[in-house]
């Protein structure tokens, strides 16, 4: 696992939400049905619990145990006749460095709803977690949907799905039909969860014809990819990507090189062996050096497999199948302070050190000395450390979002672009507005474990962002009384909502920074 991922997790200090397990036996419950809500899904009944007048269901199975279909498309679950406990989160996908329950039996989702079976036709806010394509789960307290439900009368769904090698190891060139989907089974899991929503969400008071997918970091990238996958068409109706983009997918040859590296690390000669070895052995080799990139362990990403993904998500243009889907595309002002800020030396960089610091962290091939010179003219009062974070954010994290916004504008179906400028006071404010800081604000969960939003205007910022996303989920238009008029992004003006207190619309924020990098081709890391 890369140091970047470790640093990010250290900053976020994310942890699992605790859940009170209700003791029951078959149909005899210790609480009344009012206190312990029961819902009927296509596959069987589940019992949840009430939190602040919201019915919460955690760990609902939407797919069968994937150990039986390792590297293959997911299967729907078997029906059950008893009432399943849905008061605690389900297993997360196997991954490195995390303490939560891990298992290949990981296709579970969570539903938060104001009311069951009332024909409410509430908008559905379907959240996909970040963690690149390598780690994470839908179990973080920051994704708890109770406050969104109460604030906006919406239904909130979060999911687990297969990650890293289990979800994205491209084995198609090593075997037969059983490996044909291997490079995208994590995406197929998400599609199966969306199909579950289509078939079951009315039971939970949601509208299957009004589903908004939203996700941060890797979650946003997964959404950008879904927008180009034919099998996802029609399963969601609005999309919001938060600091997460997927402009280009992993090509088949690079995917093959990465698979070779994993197989060699496992000392496997017959590819069929990888279908049956203990999953822990696969987890042990995820840190294997990536044979394509100059940094980190093996990079996993959706594969351009010509079966499930027929084109790059946002190259050479926005995917036509999703052009009519209203879209929000956003990033934070100080993205890479979350990635690089875990190393205290990055706050003490000298001008002599800066070029070498930039080379591995810009992720685009451009002369660092030239970039530094231009930035020093733009920002003469900033330190070398300040420029390290600013330059890497513009070249690495922000660039893909700009490209996606541009392609949507060119398509004639422009997206709503945002930049989160609001800065937390946590740790003396040294992290600014880092990667992932918009999650807690959109969910209005700034008091939850793992939240980093601190300061006198933190709740106001949460009010602004949560109300805006709720309005978008309901109507496809984010405009509401909390913000000034938000105009879609055009090539002429590059309209961008700057989320701060107060929020304001700005044309082409950081435009001079954008121009520095636009002459350099952008190929997403891992493609």
Q: Which residues are catalytic, by number?
A: 217, 335, 435
Cis amide leading into 316 (omega within 30): yes
SS3 state of residue 124 = strand
Euclidean distance between CA atoms 358 and 67, whole angstroms: 42
Burial 501-521 (b: 16+ CB within 10 A, else e): eebebeeebbeebeebbeeee
Work out the number of other CB atoms within 10 angstroms of the CB of residue 440.
27
Enter the tokens of residue 264: 């060699």
Residue 290, CA atoms < 13 Å, CB-side half-sphere: 21
Cα distances from 388 to residues 202, 235, 346, in angstroms, run 49, 41, 8
Q: H helices of 201-335, where?
A: 218-226, 252-266, 279-284
H or E segment at 402? helix 399-411
SS3 state of residue 73 = coil
Residue 17 is given by DSSP the state P
- Phi then psi for 128, rounded to 5 degrees? -115, 120
Enter the tokens of residue 168: 């994205």
H or E segment at 156? strand 155-159
Residue 176, CA atoms < 13 Å, CB-side half-sphere: 2
- Residue whose entry in the numeric block shows the structure tokens 């002429």: 492
- Say which residues have a Cβ less than 8 Å from residue 125's Cβ, sequence separation at least 6: 145, 148, 154, 155, 156, 157, 212, 214, 469, 470, 473
Q: Are 372 and 385 in contact (CB under 8 A)?
A: no
Residue 27, CA atoms < 13 Å, CB-side half-sphere: 2
Euclidean distance between CA atoms 373 and 376, whole angstroms: 5
Q: Are 494 and 518 in contact (CB under 8 A)?
A: no
Work out the number of other CB atoms within 10 angstroms of the CB of residue 135.
23
Work out the number of other CB atoms within 10 angstroms of the CB of residue 207.
18
Euclidean distance between CA atoms 473 and 478, whole angstroms: 8
Work out the number of other CB atoms within 10 angstroms of the CB of residue 493.
14
């Amino acid at each position: 696992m890369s140091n970047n991922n470790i640093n990010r997790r250290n900053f976020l200090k994310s942890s699992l939400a605790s859940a009170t397990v209700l003791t029951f036996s078959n149909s005899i419950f210790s609480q009344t049905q009012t206190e312990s809500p029961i819902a009927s899904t296509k596959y069987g009944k589940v019992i949840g619990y009430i939190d602040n007048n919201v019915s919460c269901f955690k760990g609902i199975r939407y797919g069968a145990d994937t150990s039986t279909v390792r590297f293959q498309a997911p299967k729907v679950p078997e029906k059950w006749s008893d009432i399943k406990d849905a008061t605690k989160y389900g297993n997360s996908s196997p991954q490195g460095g995390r303490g939560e329950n891990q298992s290949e039996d990981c296709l579970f989702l969570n539903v938060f709803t104001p009311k069951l079976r009332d024909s409410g036709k509430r908008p559905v806010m379907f959240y996909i977690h970040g963690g690149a394509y390598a780690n994470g789960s839908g179990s973080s307290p920051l994704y708890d949907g109770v406050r969104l439900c109460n604030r906006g009368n919406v239904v909130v769904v979060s999911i687990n799905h297969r990650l890293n090698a289990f979800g994205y190891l491209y084995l198609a060139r090593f075997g037969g039909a059983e490996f044909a989907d291997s490079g995208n089974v994590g995406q197929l899991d998400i599609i199966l969860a969306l199909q579950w929503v289509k078939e079951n969400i009315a039971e939970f008071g949601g509208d299957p014809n009004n589903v908004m997918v939203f996700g941060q970091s890797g979650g946003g990238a997964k959404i950008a990819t879904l927008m180009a996958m034919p099998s996802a068409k029609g399963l969601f109706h609005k999309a919001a990507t938060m600091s997460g983009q997927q402009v280009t997918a992993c090509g088949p040859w690079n995917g093959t090189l990465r698979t070779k590296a994993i197989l060699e690390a496992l000392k496997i000669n017959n590819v069929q062996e990888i279908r049956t070895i203990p999953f822990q052995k696969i987890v042990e080799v995820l840190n294997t050096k990536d044979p394509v990139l100059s940094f980190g362990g093996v990079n996993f990403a959706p594969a351009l497999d010509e079966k499930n993904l027929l084109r790059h998500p946002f190259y050479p243009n926005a995917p036509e199948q999703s052009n009519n889907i209203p879209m929000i595309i956003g990033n934070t002002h100080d993205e890479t302070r979350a990635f690089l800020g875990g190393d205290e030396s990055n706050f003490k960089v000298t001008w002599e050190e800066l070029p070498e610091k930039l080379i591995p962290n810009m992720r685009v091939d451009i002369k660092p000395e030239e970039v530094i010179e231009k930035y020093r003219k733009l920002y003469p009062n900033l330190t070398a450390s300040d420029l390290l974070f600013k330059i890497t954010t513009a070249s690495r994290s922000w660039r893909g979002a700009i490209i996606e916004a541009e392609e949507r504008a060119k398509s004639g179906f422009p997206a709503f672009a945002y930049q989160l400028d609001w800065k937390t006071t946590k740790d003396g404010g040294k992290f600014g507005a880092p990667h992932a800081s918009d999650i807690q604000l959109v969910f209005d969960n700034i008091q939850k474990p793992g939240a980093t939003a601190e300061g006198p205007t933190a709740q106001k910022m949460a009010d602004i962002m949560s109300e805006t996303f709720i309005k978008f989920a309901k109507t496809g238009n984010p405009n509401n009384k909390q913000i000034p008029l938000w105009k879609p992004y055009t090539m002429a003006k590059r309209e961008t909502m700057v989320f701060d207190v107060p929020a304001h619309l700005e044309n082409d924020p950081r435009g001079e920074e954008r121009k520095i990098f636009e002459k350099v081709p952008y190929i997403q890391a891992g493609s």
